[in-house]
Amino acid sequence: MSLISTTTSPDQKRKTHFNCQNLSSQPKKKKKKKTFFSSYISFLWRVLNEMVEIKRPVIKRGFYVKMKFLHKYGRQQEKNLCFKYYKWALWVSLTLYFFTSYLISHKPTPLSKTHVSKSSHASRVLFEPINNSFIHQQTDNYQGLLKDLKIYVYELPTKYNTDWLSNERCSNHLFASEVAIHRALLNSDVRTFDPYEADFFFVPVYVSCNFSTVNGFPAIGHARSLISSAIHLISTHYPFWNRTRGFDHVFVASHDYGSCFHTMEDRAIADGVPGMLKKSIILQTFGVTYKHPCQDVEHVVIPPYVSPESVRSTLEKSPVIGHRDIWVYFRGKMEMHPKNVSGRFYSKCVRTEIWRKYNNDRRFYLRRNRFAGFRSEIVRSVFCLCPLGWAPWSPRLVESVALGCVPVIIADAIRLPFPKTVPWEEISVFVSEKDVGKLGMILEHVAASNLSTIQRNLWDPDVKRALLFNDKMLDGDATWQVLYALAQKLDRSYRRSMVSS
């Protein structure tokens, strides 16, 4: 479990460090060190004694002096003292030399340290694959699960979908799952060209590709009218909508608050899900564990879109797989003006608190400006912060997992996509919004305890594959997971209900 208690006391934290220190210095190592030095000192002492005895002068062979000492042993005692001094100095010098050489050649590895320092981060990631190919054929237990599922894809006029692709961003931005799912279904084995044998009907409307000329973000004010127009079209020309009022029809709503079609939660709640969609199945990125008007409809929680090609390219360009020199990473919007609209609602001030608390903390790499190469920073990071924005979900969730950075999820009551395939509690760290001020302490605790286990789980190729949409569906990828979820809802199939009756 990577769900970390945020009430760890300083005494407990000191105890954890103490135990780690004990583990890093086992008694056997001390015993071996004592045997080595005892043998070495004994041997050195014997050799030096022999060397000194061989060269020791006879008593009567002294230096000639004109003055006669009254004590005939005075000269002998002086020479003996001199030899003892030289023997002692030589022994100390050689001992220091060999002792220093021993320490240098037996320098402990960073993994033996109990603290988390920036220099030790690279050695902590031990479980990343040696190659960059993580999308492979799925295991045998997946085979046959979708063989009986049939989906009819409506062929709508291009103004509802493909005309929007003239803007390249339409198929690459975070809401582009509506495009990817449509493309994958067109070439999928589950597609049927006979609507009378279909279990579900997919309505391909791209409502998130109307990019604002002001800020460049998708404007979804037209979403309701565009979907309403599409429903009017299919209900007029086909009999399938009218027989169930859309009960077996599927739409994608990959926006902040799903089919509420609004960026701000208060407005989304006020508008609610359009009545025309309330009986249908919605594939949406929004999901919470409590009752919410924007999920008051049959739905499947899906991941935001992240280009598989961008992930693959980043991994291929990564200079050293496993080398992570950034401890905690975040790049994105951090509102510094709490009195304006964005400041009052955006991220519930969580991102503001992160900036204020950790902007000057050298362990945290926080940036507010945009950077096209941000994925090259993720692949260098140990922990990636995934705080809520307008909505609880974030594309950082997918980017972090796909690039091997432990996601730190700061979004209370969030529901995450495909929990049967993606073990979120085993690959992530969850931090309560109210505990964001303790973030540094919490991550230090994780690093000192179960970080390696989380990283091992994170690099499961099945997990990565399940969160990425491909234009041509791969077994086990995000579109496959959507179809598998729909296969669990076959009780909504009008065709099957007629057959069984």
**Exposed, middle or buried by CB within 10 Å (0-12, 13-18, 19+), for 36?**
exposed
Which of 272-281, 344-353, 437-446 shows the lowest per-residue confidence on average (mean pLDDT)?
344-353
Side-chain-facing half-sphere of 51: CA atoms under 13 Å = 13
**Spatial distance between the Cα atoms of 481 and 421, rounded to a whole number of angstroms:** 8
What distances in angstroms separate CA 489 from CA 242, 274, 281, 296, 421, one per listed residue?
A: 20, 22, 10, 17, 17
CATH topology of domain 308-468: Rossmann fold (3.40.50)
Which of 15-29, 174-188, 347-361, 470-484 shows the lowest per-residue confidence on average (mean pLDDT)?
15-29
Report the percent of the chain where pLDDT is more than 70. 67
**Spatial distance between the Cα atoms of 351 and 333, rounded to a whole number of angstroms:** 8
Which one-letter DSSP state was computed for residue 70? S
Q: How far does Cα 468 stand from its chain's mean position?
A: 14
The mean per-residue pLDDT over the stretch 180-209 comes to: 96
Task: Tell me the range of 69-73, 102-106, 190-194, 315-319 where mean pLDDT is highest.
Answer: 190-194
Q: Is 175 helix (H, G, I), strand (E, B) or coil?
A: coil
Task: Tell me the range of 22-31, 101-110, 196-205, 351-360 where mean pLDDT is highest.
Answer: 196-205
Which of 5-9, 80-84, 441-445, 457-461 shows the lowest per-residue confidence on average (mean pLDDT)?
5-9
pLDDT for 370 beyond 80: yes
pLDDT for 290 beyond 50: yes
Task: Using alpha carbons only, give the angle 448, 452, 453 rounded to the nearest 5 degrees.
Answer: 110
What distances in angstroms separate CA 60 from CA 56, 64, 70, 202, one per listed residue?
A: 12, 10, 16, 114
Which of 80-94, 98-112, 168-182, 233-247 shows the lowest per-residue confidence on average (mean pLDDT)?
98-112
Q: Is 151 helix (H, G, I), strand (E, B) or coil?
A: strand
Provide DSSP, 314-347. Answer: HHHH-SSTT---EEEEEES-----TTSHHHHHGG
The mean per-residue pLDDT over the stretch 86-90 comes to: 68
Q: What H or E segment, with its residue span, contains residue 281?
A: strand 281-284
**Spatial distance between the Cα atoms of 174 and 395, rounded to a whole number of angstroms:** 6
The mean per-residue pLDDT over the stretch 409-418 comes to: 97
Place of tokens 């690039």: 403
Buried b (16+ CB within 10 A) or exposed e, 442-466: bbbbbbbebbeebbbbbbbeebbbb
CB 470 within 8 A of CB 308: yes
pLDDT for 421 beyond 60: yes
Q: What is the mean pLDDT of the chain?
A: 79
Q: What is the structure's pLDDT at 211?
A: 74
pLDDT for 37 beyond 60: no
The mean per-residue pLDDT over the stretch 385-394 comes to: 93
Q: What is the structure's pLDDT at 213?
A: 55
Q: pLDDT band at 349, cuts 50/70/90?
A: confident
**Spatial distance between the Cα atoms of 374 and 403, rounded to a whole number of angstroms:** 11
pLDDT for 384 beyond 70: yes
pLDDT for 82 beyond 80: no
Can you list the positions of beta strands (E) in 70-119?
A: none
pLDDT: which is higher, 124 or 48? 48
| H helical segments located in 359-417 | 374-378, 396-402
The mean per-residue pLDDT over the stretch 329-353 comes to: 76
Q: What is the structure's pLDDT at 221?
A: 84
In this prediction the pTM is 0.72
pLDDT for 392 beyond 90: yes
CB 383 within 8 A of CB 329: yes
Of 347, 329, 326, 328, nearest to 338 by C-alpha is: 347
Of 368, 363, 365, nearest to 351 by C-alpha is: 368
**Spatial distance between the Cα atoms of 124 and 126, rounded to a whole number of angstroms:** 6
Q: pLDDT band at 70, cuts 50/70/90?
A: very low
pLDDT for 258 beyond 60: yes
pLDDT for 27 beyond 80: no
Report the percent of the chain where pLDDT is more than 90. 58
Which of 123-137, 294-308, 347-361, 471-485 shows the lowest per-residue confidence on average (mean pLDDT)?
123-137
Which one-letter DSSP state was computed for residue 187? T
Hey, which residues does 408 pair with through a beta bridge?
A: 385, 429
**Spatial distance between the Cα atoms of 66 and 95, rounded to a whole number of angstroms:** 41
pLDDT: which is higher, 62 or 80? 80
Positive or negative: CA dihedral 120, 121, 124, 129: negative
Which of 328-337, 374-383, 470-479 shows the lowest per-residue confidence on average (mean pLDDT)?
328-337
